[in-house]
Amino acid sequence: MAETILTERFDRALIFARQLHKDQFRKGTEIPYITHLLSVSALVLEDGGDEDQAIAALLHDAAEDQGGYQTLNDIRQQFGNRVAHIVEGCSDTFEFPKPPWLERKESYIAHLRTAEIDIWRVSLADKLHNARTILMDLRLNGDTTWMRFSGGKDGALWYYQTLAEVFQEKYDSPMVAELTRLVDEIIRLAAD
């Protein structure tokens, strides 16, 4: 695996992400949202990602949650076309209000089936960190965890199981095995 060097571009992306998400918290918690972005970026780097992918990981929710296409254009201007392409590929909508949950998730899954490695790596890291959080929350809070999800318990279980299957088909990474293991454990706990 080639050594990845992080430059001042990564530093600028971190500051940009912190500014964009400064008032945002993880759904249903008091945990600053930046913790998720840092975790996803770390997972991308640990998986062998390069600086553009690590920057895209920091910004993967920026356009979707903080300004839509205008934010995507800002990302393109500041960090380049490749980073913006990855961010766009990891977003399920730029519309506000957002379309219905199931419609967005089905469309995102269909998109993932034809995406490329840059998007798979960042999306997988995002879903892996989310699955880790879901599992921890289930262990701490039980079924009340599902109240945070627009698709409810059944929707969230379907979505993460389907994501794990898509990544198994498309991407060779230790993160895929970990996501699959976590999703299996989430399903087991959800059934209890």
Range 148-161 average pLDDT:
95
Is residue 24 within 8 Å of 65, Cβ to Cβ?
Answer: yes
Query: Is the predicted pLDDT of residue 97 greater than 90, yes or no?
Result: no
Rounded to whole angstroms, the maximal C-alpha distance in the chain is: 49
Radius of gyration of the chain (CA): 16
Q: Which two tokens stand for residue 16?
A: 């940009």
136: Cβ contacts below 8 Å, ≥ 6 apart? none
Query: Is the predicted pLDDT of residue 65 greater than 90, yes or no?
Result: no
Pick the closest to residue 1 from 36, 40, 46, 31 (CA basis).
Answer: 46
The domains of the chain, with CATH numbers, are 8-191 (1.10.3210.10)
Range 156-185 average pLDDT:
96
Residue pLDDT, tens place only, 116-144: 999 999 999 999 999 999 999 999 999 99
Query: Is the predicted pLDDT of residue 29 greater than 80, yes or no?
Result: no
Range 48-54 average pLDDT:
97
Query: Is the predicted pLDDT of residue 192 greater than 90, yes or no?
Result: no
Query: Measured between alpha carbons, how far is 121 from 24 in angstroms, rounded to an integer?
Result: 24
Query: Is the predicted pLDDT of residue 28 greater than 80, yes or no?
Result: no
Q: What is the pTM of this model?
A: 0.95
Using alpha carbons, list the distances in angstroms from residue 156 to 26, 101, 181.
Answer: 16, 10, 16
Range 32-61 average pLDDT:
97
> Where does the pLDDT of residue 4 fall: very low under 50, low under 70, confident under 90, or very high at 90 and above?
confident
Alpha helix ranges (H) inside the chain: 8-20, 34-46, 51-59, 62-65, 68-79, 81-89, 101-114, 117-141, 152-170, 174-191
